[in-house]
Amino acid sequence: MTTISDVAALAGVSKATVSRTFTRPHTVSPETAQRVLNASTKLGFVPNSAARQLARGRTGIIALVVPTLSNSFFTPIISGAQARAQELDLQLTVAVHSLAAAEELASFERLSRQVDGFIVAAPWGTDDVLRTAGMYKPVVLLDRETEGMTSVIADTASAFRSLASHLIAQGHRHLCYIGGPERSWQDPLRLAAVTSAAEHLGTKITALGPCPATFEAGLAISAQVRESGATAVIPYATAIGLGVQFALLHAGVRELPVVTSESPVAEALGRAHTPVIDVDGEELGRVAVNQLAESLESPQATARRIRLRVPVRLDPADQPSV
Amino acid sequence: MTTISDVAALAGVSKATVSRTFTRPHTVSPETAQRVLNASTKLGFVPNSAARQLARGRTGIIALVVPTLSNSFFTPIISGAQARAQELDLQLTVAVHSLAAAEELASFERLSRQVDGFIVAAPWGTDDVLRTAGMYKPVVLLDRETEGMTSVIADTASAFRSLASHLIAQGHRHLCYIGGPERSWQDPLRLAAVTSAAEHLGTKITALGPCPATFEAGLAISAQVRESGATAVIPYATAIGLGVQFALLHAGVRELPVVTSESPVAEALGRAHTPVIDVDGEELGRVAVNQLAESLESPQATARRIRLRVPVRLDPADQPSV
DNA sequence: CGATTGGATGGATCCGGTTTCACATCAACC
DNA sequence: GGTTGATGTGAAACCGGATCCATCCAATCG
Kindly report the three-state secondary structure assignment for every residue of chain B. CCCHHHHHHHHCCCHHHHHHHHHCHHHCCHHHHHHHHHHHHHHCCCCCHHHHHHHHCCCCEEEEEECCCCCCCHHHHHHHHHHHHHHCCCEEEEEECCCCCCCHHHHHHHHHCCCCEEEEECCECCHHHHHHHHHHCCEEEECCCCCCCEEEEECHHHHHHHHHHHHHHCCCCEEEEECCCCCECHHHHHHHHHHHHHHHCCCEEEEECCCCCCHHHHHHHHHHHHHHCCCEEEECCHHHHHHHHHHHHHCCCCCCCECECCCHHHHHCCCCCCCEECCCHHHHHHHHHHHHHHHHHCCCCCCCEEEECCCEECCCCCCCEC
Q: Do B268 and A246 touch (CB under 8 A)?
A: yes
Mean pLDDT for chain A?
A: 90
Of residues B113 and B141, which shows the higher confidence score?
A: B141
pLDDT over 70, % of chain B: 95
Indicate whether B39 belongs to any domain: yes
- How many Å from the CA of B13 to C1' of C16? 17
Residues A242 and A262 in one domain: yes
The reported pLDDT for the residue numbered A263 is 84
| Residue A269 pLDDT > 80 | no
Positions 2-21 of A with beta carbon below 7 A from strand C are 12-17, 20
- CB contacts, 8 Å: B137 with chain A: none
The reported pLDDT for the residue numbered A133 is 83
Of residues A18 and A270, which shows the higher confidence score?
A: A18
Q: Which of A69, A113, A214 sits opposite B78 (nearest CB)?
A: A69
Q: Can you tell me whether residue A119 is helix, strand or coil? A: strand
Q: Do A96 and B78 touch (CB under 8 A)?
A: yes
Q: Are B91 and B62 in contact (CB under 8 A)?
A: yes
The reported pLDDT for the residue numbered B172 is 93
Indicate whether A321 belongs to any domain: no
Q: A221: Cβ–Cβ under 8 A, 6 or more apart, which residues? A: A178, A208, A209, A211, A240, A243, A244
Q: Which residue of B has its CA nearest to A73?
A: B70
Local confidence band at A84 (pLDDT 50, 70, 90 cut-offs): very high
Mean pLDDT, range A12-40, rounded to an integer: 95
Whether the CA torsion B240, B241, B244, B245 is positive or negative: it is negative
Q: What are the Cα distances from residue A81, in Å, to A51, A188, B120? A: 25, 27, 22
Mean pLDDT, range B272-289, rounded to an integer: 90
For the ranges A75-79, B45-49, B138-142, B301-305, the lowest mean pLDDT is seen at: B301-305
Residues B231 and B190 in one domain: yes
| Residue B304 pLDDT > 80 | yes
What is the spatial distance between Cα A136 and Cα B190, in angstroms, rounded to a whole number? 50
Residue B28's domain comprises: 4-47
What is the spatial distance between Cα A168 and Cα B107, in angstroms, rounded to a whole number? 50
Residues A264 and A299 in one domain: no
CATH number, domain containing residue B271:
3.40.50.2300
What is the spatial distance between Cα A34 and Cα A41, in angstroms, rounded to a whole number? 11
Local confidence band at A127 (pLDDT 50, 70, 90 cut-offs): confident
Is the minimum distance from the CB of B17 to strand D below 7 Å? yes
Nearest Cα neighbor of B185 from B132, B147, B221 is B147
Nearest Cα neighbor of A279 from A263, A264, A290, A256 is A263
- CB contacts, 8 Å: A220 with chain B: none
Q: CA geometry: angle at B198 spanning B192 and B203, to 5°?
A: 145
Local confidence band at B126 (pLDDT 50, 70, 90 cut-offs): confident
The reported pLDDT for the residue numbered A16 is 96
What is the spatial distance between Cα A277 and Cα B34, in angstroms, rounded to a whole number? 60
Indicate whether B219 belongs to any domain: yes
pTM, to two decimals: 0.88
Question: In what helix (H) or strand (E) does residue A274 lie, and over which residues does it extend?
Answer: none
Q: What are phi and psi of B30, to 5 degrees?
A: -55, -40
Residues B169 and B84 in one domain: no
Residues A166 and A265 in one domain: yes
Q: Can you tell me whether residue A219 is helix, strand or coil? A: helix
The reported pLDDT for the residue numbered A228 is 95
Interface contact A216, partner B, CB < 8 A: yes
Residues B195 and B164 in one domain: yes
The reported pLDDT for the residue numbered B319 is 53
Interface contact A54, partner B, CB < 8 A: yes
| Residue B133 pLDDT > 70 | yes
Q: Can you tell me whether residue A17 is helix, strand or coil? A: helix
What is the spatial distance between Cα A191 and Cα A206, in angstroms, rounded to a whole number? 10
Indicate whether B315 belongs to any domain: no
| Residue A129 pLDDT > 90 | no
The reported pLDDT for the residue numbered A113 is 84
How near does any CA of chain A get to the CA of B69, in Å?
6
Mean pLDDT for chain B?
A: 90
Is the minimum distance from the CB of B20 to strand C below 7 Å? yes
Residues B198 and B270 in one domain: yes
Residues A129 and A164 in one domain: no
Q: What are phi and psi of B119, to 5 degrees?
A: -115, 120
Residues A287 and A148 in one domain: yes
Of the three residues A277, A300, A317, the one that is the final residue of a domain is A277
Mean pLDDT, range B41-67, rounded to an integer: 93
Mean pLDDT, range A53-62, rounded to an integer: 92
Specify which residue's alpha carbon is closest to the C1' of nucleotide C7: A27
Mean pLDDT, range B75-103, rounded to an integer: 86
What is the spatial distance between Cα B212 and Cα B199, in angstroms, rounded to a whole number? 26
Indicate whether B321 belongs to any domain: no
The reported pLDDT for the residue numbered B315 is 66
The reported pLDDT for the residue numbered B81 is 96
Mean pLDDT, range B266-282, rounded to an integer: 81
Nearest Cα neighbor of B208 from B158, B155, B277, B258 is B258
Mean pLDDT, range A148-155, rounded to an integer: 95
Is the minimum distance from the CB of B55 to strand D below 7 Å? yes
| Contact positions of strand C to protein Cβ (< 7 A) | 7-12, 14-20
Local confidence band at A158 (pLDDT 50, 70, 90 cut-offs): very high
Interface contact A69, partner B, CB < 8 A: yes
The reported pLDDT for the residue numbered A77 is 96
Residues B140 and B192 in one domain: no
Q: A115: Cβ–Cβ under 8 A, 6 or more apart, which residues? A: A59, A61, A62, A63, A93, A137
Indicate whether A236 belongs to any domain: yes
Is the minimum distance from the CB of B5 to strand C below 7 Å? yes
Residues B141/B143/B144/B149 CA torsion (nearest 10 deg) = 30
Report how many domains make up chain A: 3
The reported pLDDT for the residue numbered A47 is 93
The reported pLDDT for the residue numbered A105 is 76
Indicate whether B318 belongs to any domain: no
Interface contact B91, partner A, CB < 8 A: yes
The reported pLDDT for the residue numbered A320 is 54
Interface contact A98, partner B, CB < 8 A: no
- How many Å from the CA of A28 to C1' of C3? 26
How near does any CA of chain B get to the CA of A212, in Å?
14
Q: B270: Cβ–Cβ under 8 A, 6 or more apart, which residues? A: none
What is the spatial distance between Cα A98 and Cα A149, in angstroms, rounded to a whole number? 18
- CB contacts, 8 Å: A48 with chain B: 54, 113
Q: Do A75 and B70 touch (CB under 8 A)?
A: yes
Q: Which of B72, B96, B219 sits opposite A264 (nearest CB)?
A: B219
- Nucleotide nearest B14, CA–C1', reads D10
- CB contacts, 8 Å: A69 with chain B: 69, 75, 78-79
For the ranges A193-207, A252-266, B188-202, B219-233, the lowest mean pLDDT is seen at: A252-266
Residues A166 and A217 in one domain: yes
Interface contact A85, partner B, CB < 8 A: no
How near does any CA of chain B get to the CA of A103, in Å?
16
CATH number, domain containing residue A31:
1.10.260
Q: B24: Cβ–Cβ under 8 A, 6 or more apart, which residues? A: none
Positions 32-71 of B with beta carbon below 7 A from strand C are 45, 47-48, 51-52, 54-56
- How many Å from the CA of A28 to C1' of C2? 29
Express each pLDDT in A297-320 by its tens digit. 887 778 899 999 998 887 655 555
The reported pLDDT for the residue numbered B321 is 52
Local confidence band at B313 (pLDDT 50, 70, 90 cut-offs): confident
Q: B200: Cβ–Cβ under 8 A, 6 or more apart, which residues? A: none
Strands B232-235 and B276-277: unpaired
Local confidence band at B112 (pLDDT 50, 70, 90 cut-offs): confident
Indicate whether A52 belongs to any domain: no
Nearest Cα neighbor of A259 from A209, A194, A304 is A194
| Residue B306 pLDDT > 60 | yes
Is the minimum distance from the CB of A1 to strand D below 7 Å? yes
Nearest Cα neighbor of A276 from A246, A247, A312, A320 is A312
| Residue A11 pLDDT > 90 | yes
- CB contacts, 8 Å: A240 with chain B: none
Give whichever of A66-70, A110-114, B300-304 has the largest mean pLDDT. A66-70
Q: Please tell me the number of Cα atoms within 13 Å of A188 on its side-chain side.
A: 7
- CB contacts, 8 Å: A107 with chain B: 86
Q: Do A264 and B215 touch (CB under 8 A)?
A: yes
For the ranges A43-52, A299-308, B274-283, the lowest mean pLDDT is seen at: A299-308
Is the minimum distance from the CB of B23 to strand C below 7 Å? yes
Interface contact B315, partner A, CB < 8 A: no
What is the spatial distance between Cα A263 and Cα B3, in angstroms, rounded to a whole number? 51
For the ranges A48-62, A120-134, A213-227, the lowest mean pLDDT is seen at: A120-134
The reported pLDDT for the residue numbered A270 is 65
Interface contact B251, partner A, CB < 8 A: no
Q: Do A250 and B264 touch (CB under 8 A)?
A: no
What is the spatial distance between Cα A221 and Cα B313, in angstroms, rounded to a whole number? 29
What is the spatial distance between Cα B99 and Cα B124, in angstroms, rounded to a whole number? 9
Express each pLDDT in A170-190 by its tens digit. 999 999 999 999 999 999 999
Q: What are the Cα distances from residue A216, in Å, to A160, B101, B212? A: 23, 37, 25
The reported pLDDT for the residue numbered A317 is 57
Q: Which residue of B has its CA nearest to A97?
A: B79
Residues A250 and A296 in one domain: no
